[in-house]
Amino acid sequence: MDHLSAPKGRGEAGRVDPTKLPLGEFVLDEGSAVRLHPGHEGFPYSDGQGVEERLLQVLTETADLSTMSRELVAKITDWPSEYHLSPERHNLLRHFDRLDGARVLELGAGCGAVTRFLGERGAQVSAVEGSLIRARCARQRCRDLDNVEVYCSDFRSVEFEAEYDVATLIGVLEYSPTFFQSQQPLLDCLTMARKTLAPQGQLVIAIENQLGLKYFCGSPEDHLSRQFVGLEDLYPPGSVRTVGRAELAALLRQAGFTSVTFQYPFPDYKLPRFVFTEEAFTCPGFAPWEIIRQQSARDYTGRNKALMDERSVWPVVGRNGLIPDLANSFLVVASCTALPPSKHAGPALLAVAYTADRAVPYNVATGFWAEDGQVSIKKEPLTRPDLAEGAGDRSNAAFVHRFGEEAYVAGSHFESELRKAIRADSLDRYVEGLQAWLHFVYRHGVVGLDERDAPRSLIRPDFIDCVPRNLVLGENGLALIDREWEYRGRCSVAVLVLRYFDMCSGDPAFLEFLRRHFPRRQDAIAALLESVGVQIDDAAVQEFVEVYNEICGEVYPWVKPLTATRVDTWLRRHPSLRNRTYAERAIRKGFRLLRSSARRAWRFVSTIG
């Protein structure tokens, strides 16, 4: 996690290297290939010595250092390594279209996660990092990129020319109170950054929001790991701190920026899945909260039980126009001239949603665009199409992965509505929801309805992903969105049902809900399914396991194959109940009831006799 090492006192943290030097006068350290400020005497920022040493070793030993490297993902063991190695880090900037050939100054480059992204995008990167071990990590991460130079220095000790097209402060501005000894450290840091920019240059900032909704829900402040310390403005003097949107905008204007544009990464800027532009919140008919509510922000300490469910609150916040103020983080682009129009003339970008955790060809960026009052959606491979070799063209395989355009469907996210029924503890609403889903599948998604045993009906290839998270409840009822996959193999409705409950089976809120409503049933999921007319037998479990493994084996090849035993574990089907029809089970249940009431009657008779 990003934080300062054990307190070293303000004196040391605030000390500036004696001489300010231009980057051109830094001295190349042959061993590490980092360029050093000759007067640099160490730097107090650290994720922990052991953490950074391990990271340096990982980077040195890894062959594939690219932003999408699965080799690096395999080495994630904890939050700091996830922060430095996850491909999701780069979702923050993927939609920036002016990086190729741009002169980019990265202020506070850390261990090089963002540096790597900027370098791969073809920018001429000067990455400045105060901590030597972190600078060495950044150099290792970019060792094959000639367009990246890594410098080690406190950035206050650099004599910058006003020459950069882009300067970045990604997760850095909030640390300025620990380095700039003044009444207005954030302002000083922003002013310093502004002076590095060429006349048309842009400053890109990513920072947490002091008023982020997750903090109201009880998440500890991301840097200080204490609840409410930011909301109550209890930041100790000289400590890391952040501000809210209006304050940050005012500081930027004070620092001399005349054009300030906010964007909103969700769940936060560290590992964003979605980035929204300002336009998303003013575009008629577009409901960003229906996307935002699909993901929770993380409590990085992992210690606290949320005081309320953040995901349920976003729609209320959204309908009241408050998302920009309560977003958990900001991505800000500021400049001293009006920003040049984006390369994408015409449609305005509202949002981008990313899937970056799949095997490389299957990762996707989904853009939401507005033009002439219409919102449209376009899916593209996340990496360059030439890297996404084979994507969308797997005609010999059992499934096809599709990119392209689709219509935006206004309405509420259906899985979130099911979660809401759980939060409201309403079994009736939840079951109604399940029935509506099954009805939709039987009506629109089967090749032919099996009249005797409807869940055995085979689904259409493009309904393979028709689970509640890909449904929207709109004016005309349910609609299937995100039609990304076609599965050509045999797949029944029962498989879809198992897929959804496989996802739910790890959710404590869902399991608690079941315990409350089926207190006497060990096999509560099976009981719930019975109530919507679905019986799961061995054949359905086996079919689910095969379909799942066939798709996952390709899209998530590193994931251990699913087994029927694992499914049985969460289904808790009693072995003696397997492979029986519903009627057989009902008859046996009837016998059991008779037996137990006979026993009770016998006990009653024996106590009075």
Cβ(278)–Cβ(262) below 8 Å: yes
Instruction: Tell me how far apart the 2 most distant CA atoms of the chain are, in Å.
Output: 103
Using omega within 30 degrees of 0 as the cis cutoff, is the peptide bond preceding 267 cis? Answer: yes
Q: How far is the CB of 176 from ligand SAM (least distance, A)?
A: 7
Nearer Cβ to ligand SAM (242/294): 242
Alpha carbon distance 257, 196 (integer Å): 13
Q: Is 62 exposed, middle or buried (0-12, 13-18, 19+ CB in 10 A)?
A: middle
474-477 long-range contacts, CB within 8 A, separation 24+ = 474/409, 474/410, 474/411, 474/412, 475/410, 475/411, 477/436, 477/440
Interacting residues with ligand SAM between 514 and 553 (CB under 6 A) = none
> What counts of helices (H) and strands (E) characterise the chain?
21, 21
Alpha carbon distance 175, 488 (integer Å): 53
Q: Which of 130, 177, 201, 381 lies at the binding interface for ligand SAM (CB under 6 A)? A: 130
Cβ(72)–Cβ(58) below 8 Å: yes
Per CB under 6 A, does 149 bind ligand SAM?
no
Nearer Cβ to ligand SAM (9/533): 9
Per CB under 6 A, does 2 bind ligand SAM?
yes
Per CB under 6 A, does 113 bind ligand SAM?
yes
Nearer Cβ to ligand SAM (42/557): 42
- Measuring CA to CA, which residue among 462, 411, 409, 455 is closest to residue 434? 455
Nearer Cβ to ligand SAM (92/524): 92
Among 151-159, 446-454, 572-580, 591-599, the segment contacting ligand SAM (CB under 6 A) = 151-159
Nearer Cβ to ligand SAM (333/552): 333
Among 122-130, 462-470, 494-502, 557-565, the segment contacting ligand SAM (CB under 6 A) = 122-130
x/- track of binding to ligand SAM for residues 344-383 (CB under 6 A): ----------------------------------------
Q: Which of 17, 52, 129, 222 lies at the binding interface for ligand SAM (CB under 6 A)? A: 129
Cβ(495)–Cβ(543) below 8 Å: yes
x/- track of binding to ligand SAM for residues 462-481 (CB under 6 A): --------------------
Nearer Cβ to ligand SAM (125/172): 172
Per CB under 6 A, does 510 bind ligand SAM?
no
Classify each residue of 42-59 as buried b or exposed e, where b means 16 or more C-beta atoms within 10 Å of its C-beta: ebbbbbeeebbebbbebb
Alpha carbon distance 357, 68 (integer Å): 9
- 3-state SS class at 84: helix
Among 93-101, 105-113, 159-167, 520-528, the segment contacting ligand SAM (CB under 6 A) = 105-113
Q: How far is the CB of 546 from ligand SAM (least distance, A)?
A: 41
**How many chain residues are in contact with ligand SAM, going by CB under 6 A?**
21
Q: How far is the CB of 576 from ligand SAM (least distance, A)?
A: 55
Q: How far is the CB of 532 from ligand SAM (least distance, A)?
A: 46
Among 126-134, 370-378, 425-433, 479-487, the segment contacting ligand SAM (CB under 6 A) = 126-134
- How far is C-alpha 353 from the geometric centre of its chain's CA atoms? 9
Q: How far is the CB of 11 from ligand SAM (least distance, A)?
A: 15
What stretch of H or E contains 82?
helix 79-85
Neighbours of 353 (CB within 10 A): 22
Interacting residues with ligand SAM between 29 and 68 (CB under 6 A) = 43, 45
Q: Which of 35, 90, 134, 293 lies at the binding interface for ligand SAM (CB under 6 A)? A: 134
Q: Which of 37, 136, 156, 379 lies at the binding interface for ligand SAM (CB under 6 A)? A: 156
Alpha carbon distance 126, 106 (integer Å): 6
Per CB under 6 A, does 15 bind ligand SAM?
no
Q: Which of 68, 72, 109, 481 lies at the binding interface for ligand SAM (CB under 6 A)? A: 109
Classify each residue of 413-438 as buried b or exposed e, where b means 16 or more C-beta atoms within 10 Å of its C-beta: bbbbbbbbbbeeeebeebeebbebbb
Interacting residues with ligand SAM between 171 and 230 (CB under 6 A) = 171-172, 175, 179
Alpha carbon distance 444, 112 (integer Å): 49
- Interhelix angle for 508-517 vs 524-531, to 10°? 70
Nearer Cβ to ligand SAM (109/441): 109
Nearer Cβ to ligand SAM (140/535): 140
Residues lying near ligand SAM in the complex (CB under 6 A) are found at 2, 43, 45, 108-110, 113-114, 128-131, 134, 154-156, 170-172, 175, 179
